[in-house]
Each structure stands twice: as structure tokens, then as C-alpha cells.
Amino acid sequence: MSKKAVILLSGGLDSLVVGGLAREAGYSLLALSVAYGQRHACELDAASRVAAHLGVERHIVLPMDLRGFGGSALTDDIDVPKTGVEDGAIPVTYVPARNTIFLSLCLGWAEAAGARDLFIGVNALDYSGYPDCRPAFVEAFEQLANIATKAGVEGDRFTLHAPLLHLGKAEIVREGARLGLDMGLSWSCYDPTPEGEHCGLCDSCRLRHQGFLDAGVPDPTRYKLLP
């Protein structure tokens, strides 16, 4: 029986590629998605398609409505920016403590299911903007995981894998192509059209499309409008 890993599966391109890498490393996958009141709920349909494509052992979509907390363009009525990616600033699409919350849930499931490996798709592009996507965050969370849990305290340690940490979007696209993944199943857009197309103008669409261009891999995504 193969070792189990819990993967945080948003349904985006990064989490698809992380899942492909975890599978390639021989893990049997438990995939967690969170329905947190995101405006881009298409992401959750994509997560289910991606989970099936990866052949995960189990996929849990956990409803958890973070809208009551407020504070993000992804859950509130704040406009998603369309004018391009800003360097250095933390975007309004930042959701307070999101990765901490989601990884804590992965950790709880992992401990209960006997998995000691967690996978998350944070990467170099994300961490220029989001504090909870930086290498320091990945290290601090792994440390906490081994202090906070019965398994960790008993020496059966958790490892938090972030295999995309130092990759840009083009390298992620190339990894996806190398792994033979159907990247058209994934969803990136923060502000989908009613017809279910990627808007093409939000930060996430821009980074996705540029990644395919730079990688020289055909982009299977339907965008409403490209910049």
C-alpha cells in the first residue's frame, strides 16, 4: 500500500501540478478543497475535475463560510483589480490567514488518516505578494505541525512539501506538460464571466496566460478578453 499524502486542492493550475508531482512521487492522495465563500466558485468545480483526473483516493470539499470575517476581494464586494499585477504590494485578493487555516485543516485530516505528508502549491510568484506563500511560512507551519499534534509529539513527524516554491508560472506549466496533465481542467480566474470563461484581465489570468506563452505550451484556457 502506498504512503498517503494530503494535498490542498484549490482547483487552480498550481494545485493540479502539485498533485501530479505528489502522485509521481508515489503517494496515494487525499485532496482537500474548501468552499470558503469565494466569488470564484468555478474553482470548486475545477477541483472536482482535477481530483478525478489525478485519481485521488478521496476528495473532501469542506464548506466553511469565511465571509463573516470580511477583509478580502475574494469573499467581499471589493472589486478584483484588472489593471495588471503590482510588484511588491500585498494584493487586495489576500484572504487573511487563508493558507494557515487551510493547512491546519489538512493537518487535522492527515493526522486522523495516518498521512504524514502535506502538499501545497505555493510558489515564487505568489510569495512576492502573499505572506503565507513564502518559504518562511512553509517552515514555520511545518514546525508548528510537529508541536501541535499527537503524532508530531510522538516523533512520527509531518513534512510540508511545497515543490513549486521556487518555480515561476512558465516552469509550472512545463512541469504540468511533462507530467501529461490536462491543464485545461484547472481554474485560475478570480472573476469568471457568467458563461464560465476566464476573464483574462485579473492578476491570476494574466499570470496563467503569460506562463503558457513563456513555456511555449499551447494555452487551453477560454479567456473572455486578453490584455
What are the residues binding its own copies (CB under 8 A)? Answer: 60, 62-66, 68-72, 90, 94-101, 104-105, 107-113, 131-132, 134, 136-137, 140-141, 143-145, 147-150, 152-153
In the complex, least distance from residue 96 CB atom to its own copies, rounded to whole angstroms: 4
Lookup: cell for 39: 466569488
Cα–Cα dist 96/205, whole Å: 22
Cβ closer to its own copies: 120 or 181? Answer: 120
Give phi and psi for 207, each to the nearest 5.
-65, -40
In the complex, least distance from residue 120 CB atom to its own copies, rounded to whole angstroms: 13
In the complex, least distance from residue 188 CB atom to its own copies, rounded to whole angstroms: 22
Cα–Cα dist 159/143, whole Å: 9
Q: Give 198's strand partners.
A: 223
In the complex, least distance from residue 157 CB atom to its own copies, rounded to whole angstroms: 13
The three-class DSSP label of residue 211 is helix
Cβ closer to its own copies: 141 or 223? Answer: 141
The three-class DSSP label of residue 4 is strand
Cβ closer to its own copies: 21 or 56? Answer: 56
Q: Which amino acid is at 218?
A: P
